[in-house]
Structure 1
Amino acid sequence: MPWAVEAVDDYVTNIRPRYRASTGAVLWPTERGDRLQARKIEDRFAEYSGALGLGSSLVPHCPRHSQVTHQIEDGADPAFVQRQVGHRYASTTALHTGMSG
């Protein structure tokens, strides 16, 4: 999506510098400056989705599937999408693709 680069640039320019550890290799630091851990994301996501009644089948990995699907539906080269998401095999990318209706 074309707006993604602009959104990340805005975050890096305007939000990330407000964190204690705004320098270094950590793109998404916690409020304490530590590296954001996958388990914490999963726990918080489950808490929010449960409170909203969205069910347990919605997990943080779902946006990755959506991103792959939208790119393929928008006509992106499947080989480009495969490289972008870091899949070794096209069959893995195909599993992430669920055509929307």
Structure 2
Amino acid sequence: MLAQDLLVLLREWWKIGRKQGVMHPDGWLFPGQHYLKPVSTRHIHRIAAEAAHAAGITKRVGPHTLRHSFATHLLEDGVDVRIIQVLLGHAQLQTTTLYTRVATRTVKAVVSPLDRLGMFPASQGSPPG
């Protein structure tokens, strides 16, 4: 899933790079040491770690952290876990549900079906008993 704003930015990156001669027509959008080879996974990991450090994040961060955060944000925004399963390319729903344990805002937002009945008005405090 690619955000439309990011797609516009990447297209502009490509156009400017081509005009300046730094992007080869047959090369990669993010080339490695040679324009016909993509940037290495090791370098991507290093970029993520450096960005986290620059942002003041002290925990260990890598590309998978971004994927995990993406899934967690979608869950917290109410996106169905089966949709997230498809977006992440998981074959089994069980793999996707691992992300639900960290979506604490989603868990806290769940309202008990008993509370939905409105049997005990909130202004009266606890039910007698």
Confirm or deny a common fold (TM above 0.5): yes
Matched with 1:79 is 82
Matched with 1:99 is 103
Amino acid of the residue matched to residue 30 of structure 1? P
**CA RMSD, aligned part only?**
2.7
Q: Which runs of 5+ in 1 are unaligned?
A: none
Query: Which has the higher relative contact order, 1 or 2, with Cα contacts under 8 A spaced 6 or more apart?
Result: 1
| % identity of equivalent residues | 27
Q: How far 1:53 moved relative to its partner? A: 5.3
- The 4+ residue runs of structure 1 with deviation greater than 4 A are 50-53
Amino acid of the residue matched to residue 55 of structure 1? T
Secondary structure of the residue aligned to 1:35 is coil
Matched with 1:11 is 9
Q: How far 1:39 moved relative to its partner? A: 0.9
Q: Normalising to structure 1: TM-score of the pair?
A: 0.71
Separation (CA, whole Å) in 2 of partners of 1:49 and 1:16: 25
Separation (CA, whole Å) in 2 of partners of 1:77 and 1:21: 41
Aligned residues: 97
> In the TM superposition, what whole-angstrom CA distance separates every residue of 1:19-63 from its partner, at most 9, and x where no partner exists?
513557x4x422753312211111233344446653352222112
Matched with 1:89 is 92
Matched with 2:57 is 54
What aligned pairs does 1:19-38 form with structure 2 within 5 A after superposition? 19-22=22-25, 26=28, 28-30=29-31, 33=35, 34-38=37-41
Q: Which deviates more from structure 2 when the two are superposed, residues 6-15 or residues 52-61?
A: 52-61
